[in-house]
Amino acid sequence: MKPQHTLIRAVIATLAAAVLTTGCEKEEKSQPNSGEKLTFDSWIHVNYPDAPSTTLGSRILDETAGTGSLYDESCSFVLAEYTITDLDGTISAYTNKETAQQLGLYNKSYYYGPKVIVVSEGATYAGLRDAIKGMRIGGTRKVAIPSWLLTYDTYDTAEEYLKHSTSNTSSIYTITLVDQTDDILKYQVRKWLEPYVHEHMHGVDSTYYGGDEEGYKYGFYIDKIVEHADADEIPADSTFYINYTGRLLNGQVFDTTIEDTAKVYNIYSPSKTYAPVSVTKASSYDKTTMGTSSSTVITGFGSALHLMKPYEKAVTAFTSSLGYGYRGSGSAIPGYMPLCFEIELVDKPEE
């Protein structure tokens, strides 16, 4: 048994004895989180007795102040790096490559870096929303969040949270705020897509626009590298073949039909067949299917295919709303991530 655990158990025993003594004259109904609170308070007493409390009762264990703007509670989205552990220090989630390497879990095909967190009621734990209040962009805060605050429910007071149990256990979040926004699509366009398009896609303009007073670009771009303007358009219900490579805007490749590309970017799998894949064009871009499973392609990909003619080659980039949305896709594509594809229409492969 670890010495620290022995000390905590001793503290718990002492506090429990005090509770029993004061409760001799009148038996009181046990609160749902009384045991969890005793454990959490004891852990704090042993390890961080002077740690300040947040509004709802989490404890700030350490902090490096940021130099950017103060977190604005009207912003529903923050971009953040984080590591999550239990009170014993066992890591359960993280965003950075170095942690993955230390754990021996690093995978070259996975995304590592800041992720978008939706900071709103019902979308993020109440304790996490409470933990980032008062932080500045660029700052890092290590905070112990008790189990009863790891809930999506919302109550008016700290005491109300204590009355409702959750299946979670108390956790330590180490959070670095990278940025914040009240409109994640505008953010993707202005912070990520526009600079990327300017540098890598000859500054082509977006073909989708938003409806606000600024007329901001809504985030679909296509740059034809090889163009055949005089060729006939591909009719609906036609099947043709393509090679493609999908990337994040940081250049990381997450999927490709080209074997050499897969090997160069360390995503090669011997169980996968690398060859041009079939596409069946529908009357609508959002109903276009790909491969033998006839899976419907994501909207941005389908939009690009509908704008291409035989033997053309193009690069397209678009916001997450035209890709995998707030869910992302596996470990390679996080939620709210814009994507880029290089697509080439080719001949049917020989059998």
Q: Which residues contact 56 (CB under 8 A, 6 or more apart)?
A: 126, 127, 130, 149, 158, 161
Q: Report the C-alpha gap between 301 and 243 in whole angstroms.
A: 12
Partner residues linked to 53 by β-bridges: 59
Please tell me the pTM assigned to this model. Answer: 0.87
Q: Which alpha helices (H) appear in the chain, and where do they start and end?
A: 3-22, 34-47, 97-102, 126-131, 158-162, 184-187, 194-200, 259-264, 299-306
Model confidence at 89: pLDDT above 60: yes
> 219 or 10: whose pLDDT is higher?
219
Q: Which stretch of DSSP H or E encloses residue 141?
A: strand 140-145
Enter the tokens of residue 348.
């049917």
Categorize the per-residue pLDDT at 5 as very low, low, confident or very high, splitting at 50, 70 and 90. Answer: low
Q: Count of CB atoms within 10 A of residue 65's CB?
A: 11
Categorize the per-residue pLDDT at 79 as very low, low, confident or very high, splitting at 50, 70 and 90. Answer: very high
| Domain ranges within the chain, ordered by starting residue | 49-181, 184-346
C-alpha 141, offset from chain centre:
19
Which tens digits make up the pLDDT trace of 286-299? 899 999 877 899 99
Which CATH entry fits the domain spanning 184-346: 3.90.480.10, 3.10.50.40, 3.30.413.10, 3.30.390.50? 3.10.50.40
Give me the mean pLDDT over the 136-155 stretch: 97
Q: Which residues contact 291 (CB under 8 A, 6 or more apart)?
A: 277, 278
Q: Count of CB atoms within 10 A of residue 300's CB?
A: 27
First and final C-alpha spacing in the chain: 64
Contact status, residue 262 vs residue 269, Cβ threshold 8 Å:
yes
- pLDDT score, position 68: 97
- pLDDT score, position 217: 55
DSSP state of 193: I
Q: Nearest Cα to 97, choosing from 105, 85, 89? A: 105
Q: Nearest Cα to 201, choosing from 177, 187, 217? A: 217
- Give the CA dihedral 201, 96, 185, 179, nearest 10 degrees: -110
> 3 or 32: whose pLDDT is higher?
32
Domain 49-181 and domain 184-346 have a common topology: yes
> 171 or 3: whose pLDDT is higher?
171
Enter the tokens of residue 167.
């299946």
**Mean of all residue pLDDT scores within the chain:** 90
Backbone angles phi, psi at 3, to 5 degrees: -55, -40
Looking at the structure, give the CATH architecture of the domain made up of residues 49-181. Answer: Roll (3.10)
Which tens digits make up the pLDDT trace of 18-58? 544 444 444 445 678 889 999 999 999 999 999 999 999 99
**182-to-7, 74, 117, 327, 336 alpha-carbon distances in Å:** 45, 7, 12, 18, 13
Instruction: Concatenate the DSSP letters of all residues of 71-126 into one string.
Output: PPTT--EEEEEEEEEETT--EEEE--HHHHHHTT---TTS--S-EEEE-STTTS-H
Which tens digits make up the pLDDT trace of 100-135? 999 999 998 899 999 999 999 999 999 999 999 999
Q: Report the C-alpha gap between 71 and 65 in whole angstroms.
A: 12
> 278 or 2: whose pLDDT is higher?
278
- pLDDT score, position 8: 55
Contact status, residue 304 vs residue 313, Cβ threshold 8 Å:
no
- pLDDT score, position 334: 97
Model confidence at 346: pLDDT above 70: yes
Which tens digits make up the pLDDT trace of 200-256? 999 998 876 454 545 455 789 999 999 999 999 999 999 999 999 999 999 999 999
Model confidence at 2: pLDDT above 90: no
In degrees, rounded to 5, the angle at the alpha carbon of residue 100 between the alpha carbons of residues 171 and 200 is 115
Q: Report the C-alpha gap between 38 and 11 in whole angstroms.
A: 9
- pLDDT score, position 211: 46
